[in-house]
Amino acid sequence: MTTRPIVKSQRPLSPHLSIYKPAITMTTSIIHRITGGALYFGTVLLAVWLISAAVSEDCFNFVNGLFGSWVGQLVLFGYTWALMQHLAGGIRHFIWDMGAGLEKHTASKIAWATVVFSVIATILIWVVAYSLR
């Protein structure tokens, strides 16, 4: 039985994130996945708020107090932004699924539009919420 000599492959290594220059489409794709995970956490907070309302008035007031604190408000603001960013990213993917906007320049414009929309929509939601309060 003969043994074969070990030969190093001349193929290039598989590209990794450290090789790529970050593009807006790549960044928003990663953000879309992160916001999807964050929405699970935010939905648990919404469920806690609703359950506290069903448990008792004292429990509801306690949870409302937590959400009303500056830390709670910051978390809720982040949840609102994650929801708006994920919504915009979903619409972006829907547009791509229809076969439109796949050109590099157009895809970049749509990606920037998702970021701008999510920031403006989040601010508008909070302005309206505080004005109705």
Quick check: is 74 in a domain? yes
Quick check: is 44 in a domain? yes
What is the total count of domains within the chain?
A: 1
Contacts of 118 (CB under 8 A, 6+ apart): 81, 84, 85, 87, 88
Residues of the chain with pLDDT under 50: none
Identify the pLDDT of residue 55.
97
Identify the pLDDT of residue 133.
84
Identify the pLDDT of residue 21.
81
Distance CA 13, CA 10 (A): 9
Identify the pLDDT of residue 13.
66
Identify the pLDDT of residue 27.
94
Quick check: is 18 in a domain? no
Question: Domain limits at 36?
Answer: 26-132
Residue 15 main-chain phi, psi, to 5 deg: -65, 150
Identify the pLDDT of residue 22.
85
pTM assigned to the model = 0.83
Considering just the CA atoms, what is the radius of gyration of the chain in Å? 23
Q: Give 2-18 pLDDT, tens digit per residue.
A: 676 666 667 666 666 66
CATH of the domain at 54: 1.20.1300.10
SS3 59: helix
Q: Give 19's DSSP letter.
A: T
Identify the pLDDT of residue 5.
67
